[in-house]
Amino acid sequence: MGAELMGNDIVKQYETVIHWVQEATKQVFATMLDLEIKCGAVRSDHRTSVQSAGIMTMVGMAGGVSGSGCLCFSKRFACRLASRFLMSEYREVDDDVLDAAAELGNMVVGGLKTFLEEKSGPMGLSVPTVVCGENYLTRTAPTGDRLVLDFTCGEGAEQERFTVTVCLITERKNRNYLNEMAEFHARLV
Amino acid sequence: MPLNILIVDDSAAIRKILQRVLRQTDVPIGEVYEAGDGVEALELMKTQKVGLILSDINMPKMDGLQLLSKLKANESWKMVPIVMITTEGSQNKVVEAVNLGAAGYVRKPFTAEQIKDKLASVL
């Protein structure tokens, strides 16, 4: 799999999913961008984390497995990716760069969805949302398991790092989560 | 005679890439029109003469399968070849598209060569 697995249960439990995420990401970068990327460490992250990456693309998944996938990268790398993707030079983040980031996220999470559907049945994807900013907090529902996968692209001074974060809730956990939400709303009423 | 093509995709990035790929093919291309969803596509079809449609499946307002059904149910448009270009990995949706009359499909991520090959086989 080429990844340095951190020795915790959640990461081990999701070894196959991690492999799928890595394959989907490598395929998108190789096919659409003609870029070779390397898989790095994988960790189970805290649910609240500070994002300083610059650009984050989020795509939701729903079905037998629910959750979300996020791509996080620097603004500089986003411009480089958009330049290759759209075959034009981009030096600053604009609508085209954000559209390219959205589509890359859509394709990576779409690739993961294809793998997941073989095991879990039909799933749906949300429309991608792109966030551009610095040092913001993100948090996902407490029911999900959240994995952060590191990747690198290029070598030396040109090397760029980016992450793909996946939060997954299985159908069983999903039902529990919905029950918790229903109870929470009942208490509010 | 140059071929007018309609690209239907809610991603502006994909529309832009497909525009560029189309211009690189040997096919004589006339106008390339763009629509962000099925509703926009149908509106465009009413006013423009289109010889080929490249359409995403998952789109807001009207998805690619609904668009395909409506086009195939219309006497004036039913002969226009439609190629589905989608991240949709589900075999069911792809089979549904083919059953509805799609001329073929290409999965995202795609290479320029895959698009060119598909056009060559459809046209």
Q: How many domains does chain B have?
A: 1
Chain A residues in contact with B14 by the CB 8 A cut-off are 103
pLDDT mean across residues, chain A? 83
CA pair distance A133, A53, nearest whole angstrom: 8
Partner B contacted by A86 (CB < 8 A) = yes
Does A38 score more than 90 pLDDT?
yes
CA-based nearest residue to A115, from A152, A151, A166: A166
Q: Which CATH class is domain A4-188?
A: alpha beta
Q: Would you put residue A65 in left (φ > 0), alpha (ψ -120 to 50) or beta? A: beta
User: Using the beta-carbon criterion (under 8 Å), do A117 and B90 form an inter-chain contact?
Assistant: yes
Q: Residue holding tokens 């966030």?
A: A131
Span A100-112, pLDDT tens digits: 999 999 999 999 9
Does A3 score more than 50 pLDDT?
no
Q: Minimum mean pLDDT among A32-36, A184-188, B74-78: which range?
A: A184-188
Residue to substitute from B9, B14, B21, B61, interface A, most A β-carbons within 10 A: B14
- What was the pLDDT predicted at A4? 42
ipTM: 0.71
Residue A71 vs residue B28, higher pLDDT = A71
User: Using the beta-carbon criterion (under 8 Å), do A99 and B88 form an inter-chain contact?
Assistant: no
Partner A contacted by B61 (CB < 8 A) = no
Span A102-138, pLDDT tens digits: 999 999 999 999 888 888 888 888 889 999 988 888 7
Can you give the CATH number for the domain in which B92 is found? 3.40.50.2300
Partner B contacted by A112 (CB < 8 A) = no
Chain A residues in contact with B12 by the CB 8 A cut-off are 95-96, 99
- What was the pLDDT predicted at A124? 86
Using DSSP's 3-state secondary structure scheme, residue A145 falls into strand
Q: How confident is the model at residue B45 (pLDDT cuts 50, 70, 90)?
A: very high
Residue of chain A whose Cα is closest to the Cα of B12 = A99
Q: How confident is the model at residue A69 (pLDDT cuts 50, 70, 90)?
A: very high
Domain that holds residue B112: 3-122
Q: Which amino acid is at A100?
A: A
CA-based nearest residue to A154, from A165, A142, A166, A162: A162
CB A93 within 8 A of CB A13: no
Domain ranges in chain A are 4-188
Counting residues of chain B whose pLDDT is more than 90, the rounded percentage is: 47
- CA dihedral (A87, A89, A91, A95) in degrees, to 10, reads -50
Contacts 24+ apart (CB under 8 A), A140-143: A140/A47, A140/A67, A140/A68, A140/A167, A141/A167, A141/A169, A141/A177, A142/A47, A143/A169, A143/A173, A143/A174, A143/A176, A143/A177, A143/A180
Interface list for A 140-169 with B (CB within 8 A)? none
